[in-house]
Structure 1
Amino acid sequence: MALVLTEEQQLLRDTATQFFQERLPIANLRKLRDTKDATGFDQAAWKEMADLGFAGIMISEKYGGTDFGPVGLGLVLEQAGRTLAASPLVSTVLLCGSAVQLAGNATQRQEILSAIAAGDRIMALALEEGPHHNPTHIATRAEADGSSYRISGTKTFVLDGHVAEQLIVVARTNGDENDRTGITLFLVDPKAAGVKVTRTIMVDSRNAANIEFDNVSVPASAVLGSVDGGNDVLEQVLDIARIGLSAEMLGMVQQTFDTTLEYLKERKQFGKVIGSFQALQHRMAVLFSEIELCRSVVLDALSALEERRNDVPLIASLAKSRLSDVATLMTNEGLQMHGGMGMTDQFDVGLFMKRARVAAASFGDGNFHRDRYATLEGY
């Protein structure tokens, strides 16, 4: 693993830094929240991101992408995390784009990946069915009906589900609801008969949706990958998402640290800046060390994806566990060091805390991934 970025990667990071700071600063999230924006993200900015190549960063050039790879996307997500930029990068690019690349046939790849890279299609993965991440608990069923399937069930926390133009639905075609096998992925039109989408807004002001499927008919050509073989694809997709989200959380914790450090240099108490107090210096030193470790873990995880290493599941759980814990710790400490003012909406630290809570719980929290890591290691 190279801990030093290449010249092209540095250029990409600088481009992303400038874009998010100028085009999607934290003020943009506040605007979306306060105006109760119907979409939940800036559509014009999303199109600009596609024009810059961000939407197609993991997509082959033959489909209109830039094929910059996981490290490239991680660098973009890190900068997005620093400004809490709301966009379909996670739902459309990380989750659905990866699923189509891994399991799609030639026709599906050509049609869907080209649309994603151009910024012309928003997609959402309909996976979760309960309050906590449990990717093998699938009660939604798809029953064969001649040359088609009929899907019935309910999905929760579908990221960008209310604006998605196409869904990837995880349904059971065989076995009991807790079996690891017998899972199939389906491409579903959210406007099809029997689909009911209800928008919800999470504590971090991001989009999620509850989606009900009532005997929804889809053709056999809507199957993504193989029938009953969806779990293998799903696990790979989720690991990509876990690593990508860890990169976003790295940006969040770094920005929270930088903002808190500036506050400690300005805020005065007892006639002195509070950053001169040794107790606060010790706490910041611990956080600095934790963030540096996180940076190494995330870059190693992104490199593992790019190099297609066999330890991707392990390093994905390591990264997600560590970043989930440190994001919670850093935002807690940041708010405390801001004192009572940190509890007000005047400061951004509260927004970072809310986003950290949602990101930590998405695709498995620290406890989920410590257990998964132990299981993968045979304990």
Structure 2
Amino acid sequence: MQFTFTEEQTMLGDSLSRTLARDKDPAALMDLGAGAALLSEADGGFGGTGADILMVFRTLGRALAVTPLLDSVVLGAGVLALAGESELAEQASVGAIKVAVGLDEPGQRYDGTVATVARDSLLSGEKSMVSGADSATHLVVSATDGLYLVDGDAEGLTVTSYPLMAGGRAGEVRLVKTPARRIGDSDLLARPVAAAILAVCADALGVMEAATELTTEYLKTRKQFGRPIGSFQAVQHRMADLVTEVEQVRSAVWNLAGHLDDADRDRHVAAAKSLVGKIARRVAEETVQLHGGIGMTEEYELAAMVRRLLAADARFGDSDHHLERFIALSAA
């Protein structure tokens, strides 16, 4: 397995970094090809590999950029492409349409139970925490008998939206005899959801790198007793432990990227998400502690990083959930 980016991936990552330093408008990222990099050539893109996903989302995480790339492209376009909706998938990859994916329902905790039903191509049910639902032109919705495509302005569809802790918006979706078109079985979700989890992990890696760099710089400049606090041995040991754990995350994310299309994918997904979720919380807590009082300040840059890391643990199942999955899959 190769743990390096290709020349083309590196060039795209550099272009994204420069653009994000000036402007975090999602449209500018689409113009650079960030969306197309997340889909294979067969689906209208030019990438779609685990390394492509890692490169794009690690860059987004370092810049704390809020974009629809995960939900609309990796997850939404990924499902549409596998369902044979290649034209819609390509449109999503360039930002011409926005796709939201509704899987979870009220009262769930990562159990995947679906109560939404379809009768005569009319959907009735509720979906919870649907990212980007308020601005979506299309929604992919799971029902008891498979996946359905719903227009964003369909009759009987209502969205109650709210801001997310890490940025962006999500919504509670209610469907009352809403016209929909069945596009395939729920099995189509396996690869797109795995790719989305890789994207979350890569994003968290980028945030961890930025948070540790910010903390290291603070420790070099903040003085106490006439010396930079980073010169104290106890502080150095804590920082060294933190950097070591971030290196573990980097290895785990690369490992998942390399096994994204393997038969043993689910076990690697569970292993990576469990580790990343645990260390994301660790980095959030330790960087705040090492900063002292300023680390608790909402206006300081670290606050947004902490929120994003905590959200990364919860998205698509937290650390404990995926640890249980890993144990079950390894025992099978």
TM-score scaled by structure 1? 0.84
CA contact (8 A) 2:242 2:283 kept: yes
3-state secondary structure, aligned to 1:235: helix
2:136 pairs with 1:136: no
* Residue equivalent to 1:166: 138
Letter in 1 for 2:318: D
Q: Which runs of 5+ in 2 are unaligned?
A: none
CA contact (8 A) 1:97 1:116 kept: yes
3-state secondary structure, aligned to 2:141: strand
* Residue equivalent to 2:300: 347
* Residue equivalent to 2:89: 113
In 1, Cα distance between equivalents of 2:293 and 2:108: 32
Q: Deviations over 1:5-58 (max 9, x none)?
A: 22222222222222222222xxxxxxxxxxxxxxxxxxxx22221121111113
Q: Which structure 2 residues correspond to residues 1-379 of structure 1 after superposition, within 5 A?
A: 1-24=1-24, 45-61=25-41, 64-67=44-47, 69-102=49-82, 104-105=83-84, 108-109=85-86, 111-130=87-106, 133-143=109-119, 145=120, 149-173=121-145, 184-218=146-180, 222-225=181-184, 229-230=185-186, 232-305=187-260, 308-378=261-331
What is the CA distance between 1:217 and its match in structure 2? 2.5
TM-align CA RMSD? 1.6
- Number of aligned pairs? 332
In 1, Cα distance between equivalents of 2:110 and 2:91: 30
Identical-pair percentage: 32
Letter in 1 for 2:14: D
Q: Deviations over 1:76-104 (max 9, x none)?
A: 110100121010011111111111122x1
Q: Which runs of 5+ in 1 are unaligned?
A: 25-44, 174-183
3-state secondary structure, aligned to 1:199: strand
In 2, Cα distance between equivalents of 1:76 and 1:120: 19
What is the CA distance between 1:193 and its match in structure 2? 0.9
Q: Residues 321, 376 of structure 1: CA spacing in aligned structure 2 closer, same or farther, 3 A cutoff?
A: same
CA contact (8 A) 1:133 1:363 kept: no
Q: Residues 61, 234 of structure 1: CA spacing in aligned structure 2 closer, same or farther, 3 A cutoff?
A: closer
Letter in 1 for 2:215: T
3-state secondary structure, aligned to 1:156: strand
Q: Residues 135, 124 of structure 1: CA spacing in aligned structure 2 closer, same or farther, 3 A cutoff?
A: farther
CA contact (8 A) 2:297 2:303 kept: yes
In 2, Cα distance between equivalents of 1:358 and 1:21: 23
Letter in 1 for 2:312: A
Q: Deviations over 1:117-174 (max 9, x none)?
A: 321111100111136542521111112x2xxx2211111110111000000001113x
CA contact (8 A) 1:140 1:154 kept: yes
TM-score scaled by structure 2? 0.95
What is the CA distance between 1:351 and its match in structure 2? 1.1
Q: Residues 284, 132 of structure 1: CA spacing in aligned structure 2 closer, same or farther, 3 A cutoff?
A: farther
Q: Deviations over 1:49-76 (max 9, x none)?
A: 1121111113244654223533112101
Q: Residues 248, 193 of structure 1: CA spacing in aligned structure 2 closer, same or farther, 3 A cutoff?
A: same
In 1, Cα distance between equivalents of 2:294 and 2:29: 34
3-state secondary structure, aligned to 1:162: helix
In 2, Cα distance between equivalents of 1:211 and 1:330: 33
Letter in 2 for 1:195: L
3-state secondary structure, aligned to 2:75: helix
Letter in 2 for 1:348: E
Q: Residues 282, 247 of structure 1: CA spacing in aligned structure 2 closer, same or farther, 3 A cutoff?
A: same
Q: Deviations over 1:282-313 (max 9, x none)?
A: 111111111111111111211212xx211211
Q: Residues 378, 130 of structure 1: CA spacing in aligned structure 2 closer, same or farther, 3 A cutoff?
A: farther
Runs of 4+ in 1 over 4 A off after TM superposition: none
CA contact (8 A) 1:242 1:317 kept: no
3-state secondary structure, aligned to 2:280: helix
